[in-house]
Amino acid sequence: MLREIAKALAFLHSRGYVHLDVKPQNIFLRSDPGRTGEEVYRGLQGNLKLGDLRTTVRAGERVTQATPAYCPPEQVEAIIKGSGTRPEMDVFALGMTGYRLLTLRDDNPATPYLDEAFNHIPRDPEKALELVRRARESLERWTPVMEGPRELRDIIVRMISTQPERRPKAHEVAIALREK
């Protein structure tokens, strides 16, 4: 699933766009993938699509929205400061989506800080920025625990780095997750 969505993001990014709302609720099946585990596994390839393209903007354009449970701290910071979008924001969100799908846990430690930051944006942007800083610190201290192949765990950890320049590009994620 992650490989298919990484390929979709790589396409968007290559055209100069950023999605800004990658999350499980925005990943859709084009058709029924099958009934058995094997059918579903084979039925996912080419059968997934990334939806909610209303959130997509040109790279560098102002960020106006985010989903705190999946977005990186710098996306909320960009909303506060009126900064532009970057493809690395989507890679982080895809990494958090992968973490959630792999673990079935909703324990992103930054979420409460980013949720609260949204409440302070209009009336107290300095407080909102402080909450973003705390969100970033909570992610830096966090060690996500995941089962599954080491390569998958490693790429997800790289994708959810708090340092955007350390995240792989979407096309690199797709390559790293190719079938071996």
Residue-level pLDDT at 179: 64
Rg (CA), the chain: 16
State the sign of the Cα–Cα–Cα–Cα dihedral 85, 87, 92, 96. Answer: positive
Q: Are strands 48-50 and 27-29 parallel, antiparallel or unpaired?
A: antiparallel
* pTM, full prediction: 0.92
What CATH number is associated with residue 36? 1.10.510.10
What's the rounded mean pLDDT across residues 88-93? 98
The total domain count for the chain is 1
With 0-12 CB in 10 A as exposed, 13-18 as middle and 19+ as buried, what is 104?
Answer: exposed
Q: What is the pLDDT of residues 144-179, one digit of tens each?
A: 999 988 999 999 999 999 999 999 999 999 999 986
Instruction: Report the pLDDT value the prediction gives residue 180, as an integer from 0 to 100.
Output: 46
- Among residues 21, 90, 106, 107, the one annotated as catalytic is 21
Q: For residue range 113-149, list pLDDT tens digits in order.
A: 999 999 999 999 999 999 999 999 999 999 999 998 8
Is 115 part of the annotated catalytic residue set?
no
Round to whole Å and give the CA distance between 132 and 126.
10
Give the domain extent around 137: 2-176
Compute the CA torsion angle 61, 20, 177, 10 (nearest 10 deg): -30
